[in-house]
Structure 1
Amino acid sequence: MTQTKTGSVRFENVVKKYGEVTALKKLDLCIDPGKLVTLLGPSGCGKSTTLRLIAGLEMATEGRIHIGGEDVTHLTATYRKVSMVFQSYALFPHMTVRENVAYGLTVKSIPKAEAAQKADAGLELVGLAGFGDRLPSELSGGQQQRVAVARAIVLEPEVLLLDEPLSNLDAKLRRHVREEIRQIQQSLGLTAVYVTHDQEEAMAVSDNIIVMNNAEIAQIGTPNDLYEAPSSAFIADFIGDANLVPCDVETCDGARATARVDGQKVLIPSNGMGKGAAQMVLRPHALSLQKPDQPGLKGQISYAAYLGKEMQYTVETPVGSLFVISAVRADPFVQGDSVSVSIVEDQARLVSI
């Protein structure tokens, strides 16, 4: 099975309102063909509304929507070349797996034999060759999700939409199925838009992530961009674990700045910031613990946990509680120990208050 065509997605000043409630503010975005882009954000941020607007399940109040270069703003879902994988799988319990996968093809009046052949090819692609005669109830949750993916891709959509597709699976199975979805998307060259509230899931599968907050885009970037160079305190706090501590930017020299944290000077990328009050983003791995007589922020360990390959600590300091992850050492710190917390300068980042 080969994907014959994949399309871009473009929003131009798209607004969605429900009465007096604005569910989506003016949204401009472009998703390139063949890319998997994730819409990520807290509940009520607008990510699911955006997905439904692409699908044609909702109509834009203002603005234009283009898929594959075609203006689809006023087209309903039936006339858009998209397929959706739902959170609930939405499989017909009385149909066999093959019949479920072939359903959309038969609705399009494709001959039954051809539809069955395409369905079997789709099942083989998702690792379920030979499962066609079973009922959905005879499959595990992960297998049912793969059936839902097969049903979507046999329609050869220009855009594949995935709405929280792994939320009903346990953690270990989620990792396995998300890897499969990513491999299928890349092998077919599909354009895919993926909605999730799980940051780790988004970072694992995405070419780019669109982080949304308060019905608008907060930042767009690769997983690495968002983690290493957050544009705001919200992004820093939302993507991965982060310590946000107050600081004063004392000097700026091009791309570098000097900031002071509780008397400690730190040379740090300026991130476009000027002098004055700011916040420093300190990832747990950007902090290291030393004996209390060493330079750094003075603190006391209030929590220590051994997790096999690493130690996790919570350290109480004058700038607040800091979450620190470090490699396991022969003589690990324990709860109640006094420590000095040093900052790995190249890994710290500045954001505005």
Structure 2
Amino acid sequence: MSQFEKGSVHFDAVVKKYGAVTALKQLDLSIEPGQLVTLLGPSGCGKTTTLRLIAGLEGATDGKIFIGGEDVTHLSATYRKVSMVFQSYALFPHMTVAENVAYGLTVKSMPKKQAIEKAEQGLEMVGLAGFGERLPSELSGGQQQRVAVARAVVLEPEVLLLDEPLSNLDAKLRRHVREQIRKIQQELQLTAVYVTHDQEEAMAVSDRIIVMKNAEIAQEGTPHDLYESPNSAFIADFIGDSNLVECDILKSGSDGTEIQLGAQQLMLPVQTDLKGQAKAVLRPHHINLHPATEKDALIGEVTYAAYLGNEMQYTVEGAFGELFVIAQSIGQPIKVGQSVGIGMSIDDLRLVPMD
């Protein structure tokens, strides 16, 4: 096995069925060593099934699974070099924090004294030095989740698996714990596979995101790629806030693509294979609102306005439908009922198919 292969994960046409229900459709997947890759998608899309197949908690119906270049398709979870962090923490309430972290090491026949020493090192890594003698019930939810991370990391896995690890925490704590998870993963250069349905969480921690829909991959790429270049209306809507406005493609060539958006014709500096009707992706913070004039091709009426301290949020309705707009200018808010002109940069517009 080469050093490059160590920690890699590969799925070769993996299928998973539960009776007549197909949970995964011929999944081809590659995760490179040292990357944190997030499986993202709505409930029932196949992301947790994929994670459980890597862990060996489920068996593939068809296809092959490789970890570190080794075929582990028929290898039980016990013999796979992976560790898993669960949503529920799964700490033993009668054991101390250090004993919880050391548990997997003692199961592997490491002497208890040595296992506790290594557990203390793991707790220091997650910012819990000195907490080893406490019971889990004496810790906050965020601290308990960090204990679960330490327990997984001290086993020195080739692949760290995290199944919705932050879903039981409040928003502020989620941000803090996810930063620590990302820091640990980068410092140890661990391969990590992270499952969540929260797109902001995925954007914050990932080297690469795999968005799943209906038991298959809808699109994969860096957070920047998925946000800036969605390949479908589903991705545009799922990754960040977006407005999807119907438009007509008039022509496309080497000089760009001309579209009809409402009463306005725009030449976009991109080429596309799309023809006829499409959807234009308008991100809320890429839209500019100003008092309407006769020169404006796109005009709407503000039907909702909310002050959020560092920004204003508006809903604007017009012939094009409804737009959600985020404005950083909060000095002179636009009032509900006011008629506004709608401006945008053509460099920020993206086109996706109608479906």
Task: Specify the TM-score bucket, using the shorter chain as the normaliser.
Answer: over 0.9
Contact 2:253 / 2:271 at 8 angstroms: preserved in 1?
no
Q: Does residue 187 in structure 1 map to residue 187 in structure 2?
A: yes
Partner of 1:221: 221
Q: Bigger shift: 306-315 or 41-50?
A: 306-315
- In the TM superposition, what is the alpha-carbon distance from 1:161 to its structure 2 partner? 0.1
Partner of 1:17: 17
Partner of 1:303: 304
- In the TM superposition, what is the alpha-carbon distance from 1:254 to its structure 2 partner? 2.9
Contact 1:6 / 1:34 at 8 angstroms: preserved in 2?
no
Partner of 2:55: 55
Partner of 2:347: 346
Query: Letter of the aligned partner of 2:201 in structure 1?
Result: E
The 5 A counterparts of 1:1-353 are 6-254=6-254, 256-270=256-270, 272-293=272-293, 294-353=295-354
- In the TM superposition, what is the alpha-carbon distance from 1:82 to its structure 2 partner? 0.2
User: Which whole-Å CA distance do the structure 2 matches of 1:265 and 1:31 have between them?
Assistant: 43
Q: 1:231 is paired with a residue of what secondary structure?
A: coil
Deviations 1:254-284 (A, max 9, x none): 3721111112112224463333111100000
Q: 1:224 is paired with a residue of what secondary structure?
A: helix
Structure 1 segments, 4+ long, off by >4 Å, are none
Contact 1:179 / 1:205 at 8 angstroms: preserved in 2?
yes
- In the TM superposition, what is the alpha-carbon distance from 1:320 to its structure 2 partner? 0.8
User: Which whole-Å CA distance do the structure 2 matches of 1:312 and 1:236 have between them?
Assistant: 19
Deviations 1:99-132 (A, max 9, x none): 0000000000111111111101100100111110
Deviations 1:106-163 (A, max 9, x none): 0001111111111011001001111101000000100000000000000000000000
Deviations 1:209-261 (A, max 9, x none): 00000000000010011111000000001111010011011121237211111
Contact 1:211 / 1:220 at 8 angstroms: preserved in 2?
yes
Contact 1:247 / 1:261 at 8 angstroms: preserved in 2?
yes
User: Which whole-Å CA distance do the structure 1 matches of 2:271 and 2:134 have between them?
Assistant: 56
User: Which whole-Å CA distance do the structure 2 matches of 1:27 and 1:184 have between them?
Assistant: 29
Kindly tell me the number of residue pairs found equivalent between the two proteins.
349
Contact 1:271 / 1:349 at 8 angstroms: preserved in 2?
no
User: Which whole-Å CA distance do the structure 1 matches of 2:330 and 2:155 have between them?
Assistant: 54
- In the TM superposition, what is the alpha-carbon distance from 1:328 to its structure 2 partner? 2.0
Q: Bigger shift: 265-274 or 12-21?
A: 265-274
Q: 1:44 is paired with a residue of what secondary structure?
A: coil
User: Which whole-Å CA distance do the structure 2 matches of 1:310 and 1:349 have between them?
Assistant: 24
Contact 1:6 / 1:189 at 8 angstroms: preserved in 2?
no
- In the TM superposition, what is the alpha-carbon distance from 1:186 to its structure 2 partner? 0.1
Quick one: structure 1 residues 168 and 255, their matched pair in 2 at CA, closer, same or farther if it must change by over 3 Å?
A: farther
Q: 1:330 is paired with a residue of what secondary structure?
A: coil
- In the TM superposition, what is the alpha-carbon distance from 1:297 to its structure 2 partner? 1.2
Query: Letter of the aligned partner of 2:135 in structure 1?
Result: L
Contact 1:248 / 1:261 at 8 angstroms: preserved in 2?
yes
For structure 1, list consecutive stretches of 5 or more residues without a partner in the other structure.
Answer: none
- In the TM superposition, what is the alpha-carbon distance from 1:286 to its structure 2 partner? 1.6
Contact 2:274 / 2:353 at 8 angstroms: preserved in 1?
no
Q: 2:167 is paired with a residue of what secondary structure?
A: coil
- When normalised by structure 2's length, the TM-score is 0.96
User: Which whole-Å CA distance do the structure 2 matches of 1:31 and 1:153 have between them?
Assistant: 19
Quick one: structure 1 residues 70 and 20, their matched pair in 2 at CA, closer, same or farther if it must change by over 3 Å?
A: same
Contact 2:84 / 2:152 at 8 angstroms: preserved in 1?
yes
User: Which whole-Å CA distance do the structure 2 matches of 1:24 and 1:255 have between them?
Assistant: 41
- In the TM superposition, what is the alpha-carbon distance from 1:97 to its structure 2 partner? 0.3
Contact 1:57 / 1:77 at 8 angstroms: preserved in 2?
yes
Contact 1:206 / 1:223 at 8 angstroms: preserved in 2?
yes
Quick one: structure 1 residues 219 and 269, their matched pair in 2 at CA, closer, same or farther if it must change by over 3 Å?
A: farther
Contact 2:257 / 2:272 at 8 angstroms: preserved in 1?
no
- When normalised by structure 1's length, the TM-score is 0.97
Query: Letter of the aligned partner of 2:309 in structure 1?
Result: G
Q: CA RMSD in A?
A: 1.2
User: Which whole-Å CA distance do the structure 2 matches of 1:152 and 1:311 have between them?
Assistant: 43
Contact 1:101 / 1:150 at 8 angstroms: preserved in 2?
yes
Query: Letter of the aligned partner of 2:111 in structure 1?
Result: P
User: Which whole-Å CA distance do the structure 2 matches of 1:267 and 1:309 have between them?
Assistant: 33
Quick one: structure 1 residues 25 and 331, their matched pair in 2 at CA, closer, same or farther if it must change by over 3 Å?
A: same
Contact 1:83 / 1:157 at 8 angstroms: preserved in 2?
yes
